[in-house]
Amino acid sequence: MAIKETREVVIEASPEEILDVVADFESMPEWSSAHQSAEILERNAAGRPTKVKMKVKAAGITDDQVIAYTWGDNVVSWSLISSGQQRSQDASYTLVPDGDATLVKFQLSVDPVVPVPGFILKRAIKGTVDSGTDGLRKRVLQLKKGK
């Protein structure tokens, strides 16, 4: 059974600055506690990653995943290609500019292979969504401050 979660966060940055942080998969383990490593396997003509292999750990479960990314204007979405622990994973960031800030809409749908107790699954999803919103916001602002 797929678990779906949606969250919004406002980041005081442009959509381009936010998407640049999302695209920097090699540094993702620095700001996303679930990500232990990431390796870009393929890029599109614009240089954005389109296929990424990563090792993630959530709620004590480690997984090697390969994810396909699709980039558009103010949006990035991804789908699971392979995983030992999930049947499917689909997610996206949709960015809505608002003056000097951007509303980031994060949507996630995960279908685990192994039956996981509800409270553990909820904790894992919460951690993933926290990293994907609050962690992303902190990283973007940290990089803006360092400019």
Burial class (CB in 10 A: 0-12, 13-18, 19+), 145: exposed
Residue 34 confidence (pLDDT) above 90? no
- Confidence at residue 76, expressed as pLDDT on a 0 to 100 scale: 97
Q: Model pTM?
A: 0.90
pLDDT tens for 64-82 read: 999 999 999 999 999 999 9
How does the average pLDDT of the chain come out, rounded? 91
Output the CA torsion sign for 71, 41, 33, 137: negative
> With contact defined as beta carbons under 8 Å apart, do 17 and 144 qualify?
yes
> Does residue 55 have a pLDDT over 80?
yes
Q: What is the mean pLDDT of residues 89-113?
A: 94
Q: Determine the Cα–Cα distance for residues 64 and 140; give it in Å rounded to an integer.
A: 26
The top-scoring range by mean pLDDT among 3-7, 55-59, 66-70, 83-87 is: 66-70
CATH for the stretch 3-145: 3.30.530.20
Half-sphere exposure of 49 (CA within 13 A, CB side): 21
- The residue among 82 and 114 whose pLDDT is bigger is 82
Sign of CA dihedral 75, 81, 86, 88: positive
Whether the predicted pLDDT of 147 surpasses 70 = no
Find out whether 8 and 103 touch, Cβ atoms under 8 Å: yes
SS3 content of the chain, % helix, strand, coil (to 5): 30, 50, 20
